[in-house]
Amino acid sequence: MPDSLSPPRVTASSLCAKKAHGQKIAALTAYDCPTARLLDRAGIDIALVGDSVGTNVLGYRSEQQVTVADILHHSAAVRRGVERAFVLADMPFLSYHSTEAALTNAGRLIQEGGADGVKLEGGTPVLPQTEAMARAGIPVMGHLGFTPQSHGRDLYAFSEKRGTVARVQGRSAAEARWLLEEARRLQEAGVFALVLEMVAEEAAQVVSQALEIPTIGIGSGRHCDGQVLIAHDLLGFSGVTLRLAKAYAHLGEQAAQALGAYRHDVEQGAFPTDENVFHMEPGELAQLRQHLGPKS
């Protein structure tokens, strides 16, 4: 039986209820079991197994190289570390090009990967897939605005030296209307929530206020119903300064210093010390030396 003191599991319904009650939703990426445990302990609502695992963990050049097998592997790891958070698995590039593929791959992410729901990018072109998955009982989150699977995450990295490369969407009235129309179509198709990435704040506010489902923003301003970041950016592991993110720690620098200190101690013989080793019992050592002879 579940612990009566444990917080209730986050579900698609409870996320929608948070919007109805004016409560913000906190989401972060997670690619492994230890990170998932930390997110869960911190009370994060959504653990997103994003296709950003490709560029942040697997060394791929872009999200387009991420496979269903990759997401399955990392989703299962995150599932093992989560008790409360909603595990959301990205559907990778070309995994939902048809309704049949979408149902098959989403089903695997739920059944084999342990995900609570899936996320896919796009609007009108993916409405049939979205409707089919929703009818099958698969919680689906949509994604509008900047779509990394189409462009590659490196295109929207912001640094003070390089400036913003990718174009923010929704800056014109026509674009904002189009985003609103696409968002409404996705809501009608059955998505339970919607990511808005790199959308002008005012346009994101209009979309968020018009929808019954929650919006999760990344680089889309302060009026979305929740926010999502890549954990590596938040913790300072990525090494890239992003305008849309905030580094709450600089663990990458601290980790590099720790690794360098370890190398130095090994080279100088300062590690290990007596505190880090184990010894034989004196009597056993005496027996061994007697067996080895006087030269021992």
pLDDT in tens, 120-151: 999 999 999 999 999 999 999 999 999 887 76
Answer whether residue 153 shows pLDDT above 90. no
- Average pLDDT estimate for 267-295: 95
Tell me, what's the pLDDT at 294?
82
> Both tokens of residue 51?
């296709």
Tell me, what's the pLDDT at 137?
98
Tell me, what's the pLDDT at 242?
83
Greatest C-alpha distance within the chain: 92
Answer whether residue 209 shows pLDDT above 50. yes
What is d(CA 238, CA 137) in angstroms, rounded to the nearest whole number? 36
Tell me, what's the pLDDT at 47?
98
What is d(CA 130, CA 141) in angstroms, rounded to the nearest whole number? 9
Answer whether residue 237 shows pLDDT above 80. yes
What is d(CA 222, CA 47) in angstroms, rounded to the nearest whole number? 21
- Average pLDDT estimate for 185-195: 98
Tell me, what's the pLDDT at 164?
40
Contact call for residues 74 and 82 (beta carbons, < 8 A): no
Contact call for residues 123 and 187 (beta carbons, < 8 A): no
Tell me, what's the pLDDT at 155?
36
Tell me, what's the pLDDT at 1?
44
Mean of all residue pLDDT scores within the chain? 92
User: How would you classify the pairing of strands 193-197 and 215-218?
Assistant: parallel
Buried b / exposed e along 242-277 (16+ C-beta atoms within 10 A): bebbebeeeeeeeeeeeeeeeeeeeeeeeeeeeeee
Tell me, what's the pLDDT at 159?
34
Q: What is the pLDDT of residues 5-45, one digit of tens each?
A: 678 999 999 999 999 999 999 999 999 999 999 999 999 99
Q: Reduce the DSSP state of residue 27 to 3 states and report it.
A: strand
Tell me, what's the pLDDT at 148?
81
What is d(CA 172, CA 214) in angstroms, rounded to the nearest whole number? 23
Answer whether residue 78 shows pLDDT above 70. yes
Answer whether residue 101 shows pLDDT above 60. yes
Answer whether residue 158 shows pLDDT above 80. no
The model carries a pTM of 0.90
267 an active-site residue?
no
Alpha-carbon dihedral angle through residues 239, 41, 78, 249, given to the nearest 10 degrees: 0
What is d(CA 75, CA 35) in angstroms, rounded to the nearest whole number? 12
Answer whether residue 247 shows pLDDT above 80. yes
Answer whether residue 4 shows pLDDT above 70. no
What is d(CA 193, CA 222) in angstroms, rounded to the nearest whole number? 17
Share of the chain above pLDDT 90, in %: 87
What is d(CA 133, CA 100) in angstroms, rounded to the nearest whole number? 10
What is d(CA 296, CA 285) in angstroms, rounded to the nearest whole number? 11
What is d(CA 78, CA 31) in angstroms, rounded to the nearest whole number? 6
Answer whether residue 69 shows pLDDT above 70. yes
Answer whether residue 166 shows pLDDT above 80. no
Buried b / exposed e along 21-39 (16+ C-beta atoms within 10 A): eeeebbbbbbbbbebbbbb
Walk me through the domains of the chain, giving residue ranges and CATH numbers. Answer: 12-249 (3.20.20.60), 254-292 (no CATH)
Tell me, what's the pLDDT at 38?
97
Contact call for residues 237 and 251 (beta carbons, < 8 A): yes
Tell me, what's the pLDDT at 3?
53
Confidence of residue 167 (pLDDT cuts 50, 70, 90): confident
Q: What is the pLDDT of residues 108-121, one digit of tens each?
A: 999 999 999 999 99
User: How would you classify the pairing of strands 140-145 and 193-197?
Assistant: parallel
Q: Which of 160, 197, 202, 281 is catalytic?
A: 197
Contact call for residues 240 and 160 (beta carbons, < 8 A): no
